[in-house]
A and B are shown apart, each in its own frame.
Chain A
């Protein structure tokens, strides 16, 4: 007896929603086992991890703050993954975008530059992120290099560049030799949405991105060419869609959105340049894109789920002395569960009597 997978011609619509929920449920079961292994009461751990952050107005705002970069990056990655282009270097594009935008903030620091500074920073960040993203795209189109490896290698390069700048030319001369820049001026800071808390206007930009991406991916020829190029490249070529243009396009979009996320984080919650500006948003956003089924609205929901793992992880670190790596285990398990649940939806699993070999 063996197990056989049969591809289903049509995916039941219920399954499309059921799969991520199933994945979440499985992740929680694995989480319970992990908490027990770590010697914690799973019920108390779950309460601190997933329930308490949702009952406190301050942490609810933090949830939005953490979801914002995941959402922006995740939308961009959806463009790439739909086109079957594996950009896994969003973390690097995020850093380079932050560098481009911060350059203007520091160049205008202490001058009487007007409110044009922040919008210009956002534009610069998009350009920076897009340029960094276009490097692996160019290497793939021109030389046939795997974009997976090159985009990832460039993450390390970008992080080292950031490290050089904040420890060298960009270091605040009056900062007691701490590796950080001056605090950005008021015109270079993303405004807060409420008097109290840290929720900032970045989430509004992210929501605009959700609407725009939903339209482009779902209602335009560009979205169709991305989708077709990913699922049936030969058909796309016969239809006259240029594969190279799609590659450049999706990398530029995802790089720009990651760069935008970077500058919003630096000019928002952080407020200055420092050696570490991301707890791995660029990698976690990969999970957000997959969990959200590469649909902008889905990514919106998924970003909040993943933001909760960050907030819960911080809470558990403080109140239960749990290592922050618990969050990474959750995130990894979640991605594994989605991939497995996807198969359960797309294929029917049959037991086959007397199959000779698998």
Chain B
């Protein structure tokens, strides 16, 4: 029999798993709305996880670790920006290169820390509210990453839809030629959007190594960066849909772990494959329904100003 405490703990871990995906996909959504498809999310995320862990372990400060992770993600995104935006190289290949390089750098940074542990980021505690059955831990007992991700979601959703900055960014993503003709610095705007994506991926990595699993393991991102990329497609490039997608995938990845624990005789590998199969399934459904509607018109097209 499931009691409220166990259910609360399961729901709380779903929120944590979903937050990693939400943070990373939110950053990528901004980059894609500006017209750049950055496949380097996995690399930027794991560099964030490694740098964040190393900094937090060395300094003893989770906040410093998080800041370092954000900066590291943004720094690695500049590799992609340099290639894909300023040298107009193929975006798919540039993103892949960023991921391969990121996995290597993260492994180098993380290798001295294999086998160490950190205290996980502290959870919020509001006397009374956090002790409420079921919803107490889920709503009022999360760590700062969860609340930050929701604030960030609101800022991005509002910023893209209602501010001048958002309008210019979307214009660059829809038609870089028109935006250029209007005098907007297309490549600078795209670079900033890509850096925002890198910072968010780094933040997601920090949550992974400082809160979700507070130790370092090589390849600990395990494809989450790629799932975040799929979520952007799934959301049809609308921030609020990311929330639904991220929580759905967070739920799949946590629930399959618990089903494994029950020992129902289903091979554990099949259950572990569920998040990846669900990603493929979600892409099929969304593509069949929408046929690519909602994608920024200039997505993936390099911009070379002719004068």
Q: Residues of A with Cβ closer than 8 Å to B?
A: 4-5, 7, 34, 38, 86, 88, 139, 143-146, 148-150, 152-154, 156-157, 160-161, 163-164, 167-168, 283, 286-287, 290, 323-333, 335-336, 339-340, 342-343, 347, 356-358
B92 touches A149 (CB 8 A): no
B183 in the interface, Cβ–Cβ < 8 Å? yes
B8 in the interface, Cβ–Cβ < 8 Å? no
Assembly CA distance A143 to B96 (angstroms): 24
Nearest CB on A from B191, distance (A): 10
Whether A156 contacts B273 in the complex (CB less than 8 A), given A150-B280, A339-B94, A340-B89, comes out as yes
B218 touches A325 (CB 8 A): yes
Whether A139 contacts B89 in the complex (CB less than 8 A), given A164-B269, A323-B111, A325-B104, comes out as no
B89 touches A335 (CB 8 A): no
B97 in the interface, Cβ–Cβ < 8 Å? yes
B305 touches A358 (CB 8 A): yes
Main secondary structure of the interface of B (DSSP, over half): helix
What are 18 A-B contacts with C-beta separation under 8 Å? A5-B87, A88-B96, A145-B280, A153-B277, A160-B272, A161-B273, A164-B267, A164-B269, A323-B107, A328-B101, A328-B104, A329-B101, A336-B101, A339-B83, A339-B97, A343-B88, A357-B184, A358-B305
A143 touches B94 (CB 8 A): no
Assembly CA distance A335 to B305 (angstroms): 25
Nearest CB on B from A183, distance (A): 23
B287 in the interface, Cβ–Cβ < 8 Å? yes
Nearest CB on A from B241, distance (A): 17
Assembly CA distance A336 to B90 (angstroms): 11
Q: How many residues of B contact A (CB 8 A)?
A: 54
**Chain B residues within an 8 Å CB radius of A4:** 305
Give the residue name and chain of the B residue nearest to A3 (CB).
B86
A335 touches B88 (CB 8 A): no
B185 touches A357 (CB 8 A): yes
Nearest CB on A from B283, distance (A): 5
Nearest CB on B from A265, distance (A): 21
B104 touches A329 (CB 8 A): yes
**Chain B residues within an 8 Å CB radius of A168:** 267
B92 touches A148 (CB 8 A): yes
Q: 5 tightest A-B contacts by CB? A: A332-B101, A325-B107, A328-B104, A329-B104, A332-B100
B259 in the interface, Cβ–Cβ < 8 Å? no
A143 touches B267 (CB 8 A): no
Assembly CA distance A34 to B287 (angstroms): 43
Nearest CB on B from A332, distance (A): 3
Main secondary structure of the interface of A (DSSP, over half): helix
A156 touches B100 (CB 8 A): no
B288 touches A342 (CB 8 A): no
Within 8 A of A (CB), among B203-227: 218, 222-223, 226
A327 touches B104 (CB 8 A): yes
Assembly CA distance A154 to B284 (angstroms): 14
Give the residue name and chain of the B residue nearest to A169 (CB).
B267
A340 touches B100 (CB 8 A): no
Assembly CA distance A331 to B92 (angstroms): 16
Whether A5 contacts B269 in the complex (CB less than 8 A), given A143-B284, A149-B230, A342-B89, comes out as no
A145 touches B188 (CB 8 A): no
Q: Which of B102, B273, B291, B304 contacts A5 (CB 8 A)?
A: B304
Give the residue name and chain of the B residue nearest to A333 (CB).
B101
**Chain B residues within an 8 Å CB radius of A343:** 87-89
A340 touches B87 (CB 8 A): yes
Give the residue name and chain of the A residue nearest to B112 (CB).
A323
Q: Which of A86, A144, A156, A326 contacts B92 (CB 8 A)?
A: A86
Whether A146 contacts B105 in the complex (CB less than 8 A), given A157-B273, A343-B89, comes out as no
B100 touches A143 (CB 8 A): no
Within 8 A of A (CB), among B81-136: 82-83, 87-90, 92-94, 96-98, 100-108, 111
**Chain A residues within an 8 Å CB radius of B304:** 5, 7
B93 touches A143 (CB 8 A): no
B269 touches A347 (CB 8 A): no
Assembly CA distance A144 to B292 (angstroms): 7
**Chain B residues within an 8 Å CB radius of A144:** 287-288, 291-292
Give the residue name and chain of the B residue nearest to A157 (CB).
B273
**Chain A residues within an 8 Å CB radius of B279:** 149, 153
Q: Which of B87, B100, B187, B283 contacts A335 (CB 8 A)?
A: B100
**Chain B residues within an 8 Å CB radius of A164:** 267, 269-270
**Chain B residues within an 8 Å CB radius of A157:** 273, 276-277
Q: Which of A148, A152, A329, A358 contacts B105 (CB 8 A)?
A: A329
B229 in the interface, Cβ–Cβ < 8 Å? yes
B201 in the interface, Cβ–Cβ < 8 Å? no
